[in-house]
Amino acid sequence: MMDAVTFRIVMNESIFLLDKRVVFDSTKMTLSHGNEIIRISEAETHLLLAFWHGLYKKEDIIHFVWENRGGCVSESSYYKLINQMRNDFSSIGLQPSDIVTRPRVGVSLSVAIEPIKKNHLPQGE
């Protein structure tokens, strides 16, 4: 589980590169590739931040995405979030299979997610 100090450190990183080509801006809650930009939900934003932090167990992801913000969640909300994120990946040029189901454990991201500086954004971002 993540303590409040670690959570603040995670939130200080705001722009990431997924699979060395898709820009994830956690402040604007967007994914972009070239001229394509899609908005993602707050829960999807926190899911990607959970992946960046190395979380993959279902319970840890649920805690990070919802419970840290005072909410509670059902398992159906968790599965809906994973499906929604896979659909967004498909829309922006990533593979839905980049979010890997780990049976009886959780899910993980199979592509790199790296924090980047604003002045190091790929061309066109």
| Cβ neighbours of 49 (radius 10 Å) | 21
Bridge partners of residue 100, in order along the sequence: 108
Domains and CATH numbers, the chain: 4-116 (1.10.10.10)
The b/e string for 96-118 (b: 16+ C-beta within 10 A; e otherwise) is eebbeeeeeebbbbebebeebee
pLDDT, residue 30, reads 98
Please say whether the beta carbons of 81 and 58 come within 8 A: no
Which of 68, 69, 30 is CA-nearest to residue 48? 30
Q: CA 44 to CA 20: how far, in whole Å?
A: 19
Tell me if the pTM is above 0.85: no
* 125 residues of the chain, pLDDT tens digit each: 444 444 444 445 799 999 999 999 999 999 999 999 999 999 999 999 999 999 999 999 999 999 776 667 888 999 999 999 999 999 999 999 999 999 999 999 999 999 987 655 555 55
